Amino acid sequence: MSYNIKVTKIKESKVSKIDFDNITMGFNFSDHMFICDYENGAWQNPRIEPLSLIPTHPAAMALHYGQAIFEGMKATKGQDGTPLLFRPDENAKRLNFSADRMGMPQFPEDLFVEALKQFTAVEKDWIPTKEGSALYLRPFMYADEPFIGMRAATSFKFIIMGSPAGPFFSKKIKLYAEKKYVRAVNGGTGEAKAAGNYAAAIRPTELAKEKGYDQVLWLDSQDFEYIQEVGTMNIFFKIDGKFITPDLSGSILAGITRMSVITLLKDKGFEVTERPIKLSEIKEASLNGTLEEAFGAGTAVGIAMIEEIGNEDFTLKLPAENPVSNMINDTLNAIKVQKEQDKFGWIVEAK
Ligand code: COI
């Protein structure tokens, strides 16, 4: 289906005010937003317009019951300057998976991709070209119907906005193995990219930071024994030459970077197994010297090397060298800027 997206451009761009050598993700926003309204059972009026405040009724249901979901993506530039997206069709599918779980309407996947392409083309001057930098894209949907009763809303907004971003972590990270709070339970919303999952993680993450860690390593909700994921990413371990990552057991986010890393590792000849992983297995591997590398994988962070995992009861130091993690990071970054051949067909030109 072809969509007519009305474009209204800003009078004067703010892009010249950005120091692209020094950008922390999430503080600066590009000039425009894509916005579309769900009313009377249909998505209507798709448009790109200058980024502005959105009038919101105090009874908007997202504010009360958390009917809100989001995606994270990154736009880069190819060697000839063409704006590029990475696997936008996967984000479209995941958004609709989240929407289904949260009782929200499906957003047409072809409109999702088309909107992203047009938005990214309009904002192309906001895409940083320094290695490891990108224009972070945040598609999201929320219930804006004013209603106090408890049921699925009938009106929603879908918006895409952009924030230029440098590397998320400038150093290796330390993970706090959380034994009190949980992120998700089977049958809960952990598999969805629901705003509430992140709300529930904020306080435990603050506490972990107070103890000197960077992010929380979430464990299973029943026994606090199985590794699930890290604050904003999935996790991989290399033990005795082979990679393992927790399987998508029903409470773990199906990361698009995660699935890409699995493909890349296999393509480079590594064995990768998705299966339940006990924290005790990682401690054991560390003790017997077979734990070789560990890294987090997510859109915002890319590949984040892990140097330590611990809590009040134990400290586990990872080896200093991360040859395969570095290689995967470099390969992923090179594919995203068309320095390396896109043999899996992941890149979509935004023009
Ligand atoms: C992403 O990696 O895109 C995320 O959604 C993480 C975000 C909470 C910083």
CB 238 within 8 A of CB 324: yes
CB-facing half-sphere around the CA of 189: CA atoms within 13 A: 19
Determine how many CB atoms are found less than 10 A away from the CB of residue 280.
10
Atom of ligand 1 nearest to the CA of 299: 2
| pLDDT (tens digit per residue) in 77-123 | 999 999 999 999 999 999 999 999 999 999 999 999 999 999 999 99
pLDDT at 93: 98
pLDDT at 249: 83
Query: For 50-71, b where at least 16 C-beta lie within 10 A, e where not — what string?
Result: ebeeeeeeeebbbbebbbbbbb
**Helix 256-267, helix 88-101: angle, nearest 10:** 140
CATH for 173-320, options being 3.10.20.30, 3.90.1530.10, 3.30.460.80, 3.20.10.10: 3.20.10.10
- In this structure, which residue's CA is closest to atom 6 in ligand 1? 232
Same fold, 6-167+342-349 and 173-320: no
Q: Is 198 in the pocket of ligand 1 (CB under 6 A)?
A: yes
pLDDT at 2: 75
Distance 196 CA to ligand 1 centre (A): 13
pLDDT at 24: 85
Distance 27 CA to ligand 1 centre (A): 14
Give me 185's structure tokens: 């339970």
d(C-alpha 218, C-alpha 201), whole Å: 10
Query: Does the pTM of the predicted model rise above 0.85?
Result: yes
Give me 134's structure tokens: 């990108």
Atom of ligand 1 nearest to the CA of 298: 2
Q: How far is CA 345 from CA 88, 89, 186, 340, in A?
A: 11, 11, 33, 12
In three-state form (DSSP H/G/I as H, E/B as E, the rest C), the secondary structure along 276-309 is: CCEHHHHHHHHHCCCEEEEEEEECCCEEEEEEEE
Q: Which fold has domain 6-167+342-349?
A: D-amino Acid Aminotransferase; Chain A, domain 1 (3.30.470)
Burial class (CB in 10 A: 0-12, 13-18, 19+), 345: exposed
Phi and psi, residue 147, nearest 5°: -165, 135
Q: Give me the amino acid identity at 170.
A: S
- In this structure, which residue's CA is closest to atom 3 in ligand 1? 72
Q: For the chain, which residues make up each domain, given as ranges?
A: 6-167+342-349, 173-320
Ranges under pLDDT 70 in the chain: none
Q: Is 169 in the pocket of ligand 1 (CB under 6 A)?
A: no
pLDDT at 43: 98
Give me 177's structure tokens: 């193995």
Q: Is 98 in the pocket of ligand 1 (CB under 6 A)?
A: no
Q: Give me the amino acid identity at 174.
A: K
pLDDT at 78: 97
